[in-house]
Amino acid sequence: MLGFFDSGLGGLAVLKEVEKAMPQYSYIYLGDNARTPYGSHSHDTIYKFTRQGVAYLFKKGAEVVILACNTASSSALRRIQQEFLPKYYPKNKVLGIIIPTAEEVISKTKTGEIGILATEATVHSFAYPKEITKMDESLRVHQQAGTLLVPIIEAGELDWDGLDSIIKKYLNELFERSKKIDTLVLACTHYALIEDKIRKHTPSKVQIISQGQIVAQKLKEYLERHPEIESRLKKSNRRDFYSTEDSWRVRNLFKLFYGRPVEIKKISLE
C-alpha cells in the first residue's frame, strides 16, 4: 500500500490528486488530528510525532509513506530517512513533498524571486530556501509564516469574516519584502482549502503553486523509476482512513479536503 501521513487533514488534498493519477493502488491515510497543528512545536517533537505515524502506517502494510505535510517533511524527513528507516524498516521508503515542489517552482519563476507561505516550523527550518538555492543559487526566496491559518482551518472556520484580513496581512508582509516575487508556494497542504481567498489577495501577475498535482506526478515518475518498489504495492483499490481524533470537526474536515465522507478509524499513537 501507499501510505500518507499528515499532522491533520491537509494531506487529503494531496492524496486525492495521487488517487486520480494512480487509482489502481491501495491507499492508507493517517491524520494526527489530536495533536495538530505541528507548526509551533520543536523539531524534536515533530520528529517524534512523525516517526510514530510512519511506524503505524508501516505496521498496517504501507511499503512507501509520503509525508503529505510540509512541516513534517521539513523538520523530520531527513532524520527518519537517516536514523529510523535503516534501523527498523530498511526495505521501506519515506518520501517528502518539499523537493518535488521546489523543482516545480524553479521551472515556473521568470524573475527568480519566489515567495513561500508556510507554518512557523517550515519557515524556521529554511527547508525551501535550502532546496531551491541548492538547485539554482541565483534564485531569491522570501518566506512568510501564516501562523494562524492552520488553527483557523482545523477549527472549520473557513467562512469567518476575519480570515480574509489575516490572509491579506500575511501576503502584504511577504510582498513588501520584494515586488519582484512572481511565484508563490502554498507550502502547507491545509492552504488548499483557502486557495481562492489567497488568490484574491495575491497580485494577478503572481503564479500560485499548490502541491497536490505536483506530488501526484512526481510520485508516479518515482514509481516508474523504481519497479522493485512498485511491484510490492497492492493494487486492490482499497482505501483506509485513520485519525487520532474522531469528532464532528474531523469528520467535516475529512469531507472538505477529500470531497466526500469516509469511514474514519480512530487510533492512538502514544
SS3 category, 165: helix
Judged by DSSP in three states, 67 sits in strand
* The residue to which cell 523543482 is assigned: 103
Q: Which three cell numbers stand for residue 20?
A: 486520480
Active site residue 69: yes
Least Cα distance to 122 among 137, 152, 102 occurs for 102
| Catalytic member of 188, 216, 250, 264 | 188
In the DSSP assignment, the letter for residue 189 is G
The residue from 2, 69, 116, 145 that is catalytic is 69
**In contact, 241 and 19? CB cutoff 8 Å:** no
Does residue 210 carry a catalytic annotation? no
CA 230-233-236 angle, to 5 degrees, is 130
Distance of CA 106 to the CA centre of its chain: 18
CA dist., res. 68 & res. 56, Å (int): 15
> What is the rounded distance in angstroms from the CA atom of residue 119 to the CA atom of residue 5?
17
Strand partners, 66: 4, 95
Instruction: State how far the Cα of 136 lies from the Cα of 128, in Å rounded to an integer.
Output: 12
What string of DSSP letters covers 117-155?
A: EE-HHHHHHTHHHHHHHHH-TT-EEEEEE-TTHHHHHHT
Q: Which residues are tagged catalytic?
A: 69, 188
